[in-house]
C-alpha cells in the first residue's frame, strides 16, 4: 500500500510536469502589483463597466505626419497604441519599441500577406508570451481583423476579454493562459468562426461553461485551473477536440456517456480534481485513440469498467484518489503500452503492485 502511494505521488508529479510542459512552463517571477497599479486597474475597469462596451478610456490620436502602407496597418496602429495605453507595467520593456508607423517591426507583432489580398501586409499574429506585463485588453484590439494567432500566456492581464474580439473572424489560436482574467466564461470566443485552439487555463474565470463550447469545432480546449462550476453537460461528446483539459475546476455531476462519441478524435482527456460524482461510463472503452486519461481526485464510485481494457493506445491512466471499488480489470495493465504509467491505488480499490 505504502509503495502504491509513493508511486501515485510520482506519477502525479509526472502528470503535473506534463501539464506544465504543455503550458510552456509558467514563470513564477511575477511581481506583485503595487497599490497604485492596482488602483489604476480598478479605475480602468470601472470605466469599462460604466461604458456599455467600447471605450475604456484609451485615447489614441494618429499623428497626421505618420503614413501607413495600407489602411489595415493604420487600424492595427490604433489597436496597438490603445493596448499600450492599457499596459501599466512592462518589466521586460517588450512594448518599448511600439512607436511609429511600422507596426510590423514592433516586438511581439507578426505580419503576413493578407489572406484575401496577398498584395498587402497585415498583422497576423501577436505573441507576448512570458512578458509579465500587467494591464488589460482594450476593445480596440477588435481592429486587428486579420489576426490568426493571439498568444499572451504568462502575463498579468486582468479584466475580461473584449466584446470586440467578435471581429476577429480569422482567429485560429487564442492563448490567454496564466493571466488574471476574471468574470464569466468569455462567450465572445464561441462566435469566432475560425477558432481551433482555446487556452484560458490558469485564470480566475468563474461560473458556468456554456454547453455550446462542446458543439464548437475546436481542436483543443484548455480551461483547467479556473473557478468554473457546473455539471458537465451531456453534449460533451459532441466536441471534436483531440485534447480537453478541464482539471482543477469545480465541475460536478457525472462523466457523460456521450464521451464515447469522441472515439475518432480524442487523444487526451484530463478531468482531475473536479468533484465529479458518478461511475465511469463503460462507453469510455470506445475511445480507441486515447493516450491520456486522468480522472484522479474526484469522487467517482463503482468498479472500473471492464471496457477500459480496450483502450489500446493508452499511455497514461490515472484513476487514483476516487472512491472506486472492486478489482482492476486485469487486461488494463496488459493494454497499456507503458505500464509504469498505470496509476490506480488509493481509496478502496484492491490494487496489485504496478507491473
Ligand X SMILES: *[C@@H]1O[C@H](CO)[C@@H](O)[C@H](O)[C@H]1NC(C)=O
Q: Residues interacting with ligand X, by CB under 6 A?
A: 59, 61, 93, 96-97, 237, 257-258, 260-261, 283
Residue closer to ligand X by CB (options 237, 310) is 237
Residue closer to ligand X by CB (options 258, 274) is 258
Residue closer to ligand X by CB (options 70, 238) is 238
User: How would you classify the pairing of strands 204-207 and 243-245?
Assistant: unpaired
User: Which residue reads 478541464 in cell numbers?
Assistant: 246
Tell the smallest beta-carbon distance from residue 261 to ligand X (Å): 4
Task: Judge whether 281 and 308 are in contact, CB under 8 Å.
Answer: no
**First CA to last CA across the chain, in angstroms?**
14
Cα separation values, 199 from 50, 73, 154, 206, 293, Å: 28, 27, 12, 15, 19
The DSSP string of 46-83 is: HHHHHSSSS-SS------TT---SSHHHHHHHHHHHHH
Tell the smallest beta-carbon distance from residue 217 to ligand X (Å): 15
Residue closer to ligand X by CB (options 63, 353) is 63
Residue closer to ligand X by CB (options 308, 351) is 308
Residue 347, helix vs strand vs coil: coil
Tell the smallest beta-carbon distance from residue 313 to ligand X (Å): 20
Q: What is the number of the residue whose Cβ is closest to ligand X?
A: 96
Tell the smallest beta-carbon distance from residue 14 to ligand X (Å): 31
Residue closer to ligand X by CB (options 287, 349) is 287
Residues 6+ apart with CB under 8 A from 34: none
**How many whole angstroms separate alpha carbon 292 and alpha carbon 134?**
35
Tell the smallest beta-carbon distance from residue 6 to ligand X (Å): 38
Tell the smallest beta-carbon distance from residue 255 to ligand X (Å): 11
Amino acid at each position: 500500500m505504502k509503495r502504491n502511494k509513493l508511486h501515485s505521488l510520482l506519477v502525479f508529479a509526472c502528470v503535473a510536469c506534463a501539464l506544465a510542459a504543455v503550458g510552456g512552463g509558467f514563470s513564477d517571477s511575477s511581481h506583485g502589483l503595487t497599490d497604485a497599479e492596482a488602483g489604476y486597474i480598478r479605475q480602468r475597469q470601472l470605466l469599462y463597466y460604466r461604458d456599455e462596451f467600447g471605450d475604456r478610456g484609451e485615447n489614441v490620436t494618429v499623428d497626421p505626419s505618420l503614413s501607413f502602407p495600407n489602411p489595415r496597418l493604420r487600424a492595427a496602429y490604433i489597436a496597438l497604441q490603445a493596448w499600450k495605453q492599457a499596459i501599466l507595467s512592462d518589466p521586460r520593456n517588450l512594448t518599448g519599441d511600439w512607436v511609429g508607423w511600422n507596426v510590423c517591426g514592433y516586438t511581439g507583432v507578426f505580419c503576413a500577406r493578407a489572406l484575401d489580398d496577398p498584395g498587402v501586409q497585415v498583422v497576423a499574429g501577436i505573441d507576448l508570451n512570458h512578458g509579465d506585463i500587467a494591464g488589460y485588453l482594450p476593445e480596440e484590439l477588435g481592429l486587428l481583423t486579420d489576426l490568426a494567432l493571439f498568444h499572451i500566456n504568462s502575463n498579468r492581464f486582468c479584466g475580461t476579454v473584449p466584446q470586440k474580439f467578435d471581429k476577429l473572424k480569422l482567429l485560429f489560436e487564442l492563448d490567454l493562459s496564466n493571466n488574471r482574467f476574471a468574470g464569466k466564461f468569455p462567450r465572445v470566443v464561441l462566435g469566432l468562426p475560425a477558432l481551433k485552439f482555446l487556452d484560458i487555463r490558469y485564470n480566475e474565470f468563474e461560473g458556468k461553461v456554456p454547453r455550446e463550447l462542446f458543439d464548437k469545432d475546436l481542436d483543443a480546449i484548455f480551461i483547467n485551473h479556473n473557478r468554473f462550476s457546473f455539471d458537465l453537460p451531456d453534449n460533451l461528446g459532441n466536441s471534436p477536440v483531440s485534447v480537453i483539459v478541464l482539471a482543477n475546476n469545480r465541475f460536478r455531476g457525472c462523466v457523460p456517456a456521450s464521451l464515447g462519441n469522441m472515439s475518432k478524435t480524442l487523444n487526451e482527456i484530463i478531468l482531475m480534481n473536479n468533484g465529479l460524482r458518478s461511475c465511469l461510463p463503460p462507453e469510455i472503452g470506445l475511445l480507441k485513440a486515447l493516450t491520456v486519461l486522468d480522472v484522479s481526485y474526484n469522487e467517482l464510485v463503482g468498479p472500473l469498467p471492464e471496457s477500459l481494457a480496450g483502450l489500446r493506445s493508452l499511455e497514461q491512466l490515472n484513476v487514483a484518489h476516487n472512491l472506486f471499488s472492486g478489482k482492476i480489470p486485469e487486461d488494463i495493465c496488459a493494454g497499456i503500452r507503458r505500464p509504469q504509467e498505470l496509476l490506480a491505488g488509493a481509496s478502496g480499490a484492491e490494487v496489485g503492485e504496478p507491473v
